[in-house]
Amino acid sequence: MRSTVKTLTVTKVTTEQLLTKLSNAVSYAYRHDGTSPSVVISTLKDRSIYASIVRYNNGATKKVVCKAASKDLFTALNDLSEEFLGTLNSEELNPVDSLRKTLVKN
């Protein structure tokens, strides 16, 4: 039996670039509905970083699409990006694919 091995190419990005790509991907993924998607970042009492993607239906009901927490911002954003990509069904070339290609695999 023959197996195929995929090689992962890791693109080095800054935290700011990852946040920009994630924000663009979220906006793109929900561009056809009125849920006002947002990327939210908070520092918790223990100094860890909590990041989430939320949607607001008609500005009232908040729905957390996915979330991640880590001791540093980059890892929290990277983990959040992976969680977000897992919620999608689209494979078209767009900002979501750009984010997918940017992720750093641990």
C-beta contacts of 36-41 below 8 A and 24+ residues apart: 37/65, 39/80, 41/73, 41/76, 41/77
User: What confidence tens digit (pLDDT) does each residue in 7-42 have?
Assistant: 445 568 899 999 999 999 999 888 887 887 899 999
Give the domain ranges of the chain: 33-102
φ, ψ for residue 38, nearest 5 deg: -145, 150
User: What confidence tens digit (pLDDT) does each residue in 64-86 have?
Assistant: 999 999 999 999 999 999 999 88
The DSSP symbol for 103 reads: P
Q: Who's near 96: CB < 8 A, 6+ residues apart?
A: 25, 28, 29, 85, 88, 90
